[in-house]
Structure 1
Amino acid sequence: MRAPGQVQGSYIAEAIIERVASFLSLDVDVVRKRNLHTYESLKFFYGSSSGEAPEYTLPAIVDELFTSASYFNRLEMGLWTKVKQMAAFGLEQLWDEEKKYLLDRVRIIQADTLSLVQGGLTAGSTKSEASCEAVRLACSILVSRLKPLKQSLEEQMGSISWDTLITQANLQYVNLSASTFWVADDTSSYLNYGAAISEVEIDVLTGATTILRADLTYDCGQSLSPAVDLGQVFFFSSVLLIL
């Protein structure tokens, strides 16, 4: 390919950016945008090739892409929503009064073989269950380590906050890292059940059809996140009817 080394250079840059974001507890795209060239830095590196200031449109292009692709909205949807909710659910065992704030403290980062040697398969519609159960087990480990310290601090100080607990855990060398690996049993074969009915109006002259109503009942077992699953069921229903 042209420009040998470009792919490797981009990979190294992305690895550095993601590492910085993880260390600073920032969204990786915040770090990416802060490291885009300014027009002044562009002129420093590229001289006359940088053109005039209005011609430097990269920051505007990035902003437009985020908007047109509904990036931030889509980022909040799907599998990671379930995983974040499970992390908050697992950690709320420490106390109930702050559970509504725990979800905002959970941040998903890109996994690699340094953080987890093996991540299992994404086949068989079991990734949600496997990811969430692994997170739940990891949270249980953390809770078992933090609960004795929390009880001790409450005896000395009364009610304590999450920040106080974590700060003291860090000062007292409590291991605040946990990882687990979980794979569902016998995922190669399973049955799902559902039923659907639709009322459709057909124009006998043109053949045009109008879907007046569609109802779908689907057994998805014990839902991890009803809002997410409901959206997936409606999407599946729409695709089914279109086909």
Structure 2
Amino acid sequence: MQGNAAFVGIENYVAVFGSKTFAKALTNTALFTVVSIAFQFGIGLILAVFFRNNFRLNGVLRGLFLVPWLLPLIVSASTWSSMMNSDNGVINSALSVIGVAPVNWLTSPDLVLASVIIANIWLGIPFNLVVLYSGLQNIPEDLYEAASLDGANAWQKFWRITFPLLRPVSLITILLGLIYTLKVVDIIWIMTAGGPGDSSTTFATWSYREAFGTGNPDFSPAAAVGNVLILIALIFGFIYLRIQNRTEK
């Protein structure tokens, strides 16, 4: 019995890796994760450096940037889906003002992945802003003052002081962002359900679709796809630990 169970378990993985959906889901997962994290971290870092300078309404503006993070995901995803509606979405309405034809954001196989990536970037920026801004507060102001006395410009201060000292916080921010992005289901599912076809299907949405998204749920392949996601997350976790150990040495 145990041998049969093991064989069935292996059979599930063989079915997953041999599925025509696998290659598309792998590509989409990689693009969705890498592009989302790159823009979330980059924009979050720019905003964190910007808000490090004290000015009027600093706190108010930072609070406004936290709104996407505080909203329930179902609300945010539904809002983006409505905004990107081909017929009466606010984005196409704005584009029509400048003479641009309606864009099929959520129904075009060529644009749908980019559309859900844009929504996910918007949702992830506040997290990066908060963590990186907290990291910036731990950098002594004396270092910047000394650099100014030595004639360093803003870019030199960032590249030689801010970026190196923010590296530990940056690494953990990217790792947490990667783990979160790999398992994103609700945003994509609410906006596109992984479609059209498999154009926006990732491993997370594929697993969800197999388990809950059809009339005949099949938890075996869903679990197999989920385990692949766990393995990917573990690999990046070990990479992070290795980099962290090298940094400490």
- The TM-score with structure 2 as length reference comes to 0.30
Q: Determine which structure has the larger strand proportion and give its number.
A: 1
Q: Which has the larger radius of gyration?
A: 1
Q: Which has the higher contact order (CA 8 A, sep 6+)?
A: 2
- The TM-score with structure 1 as length reference comes to 0.31
Q: Determine which structure has the larger helix proportion and give its number.
A: 2
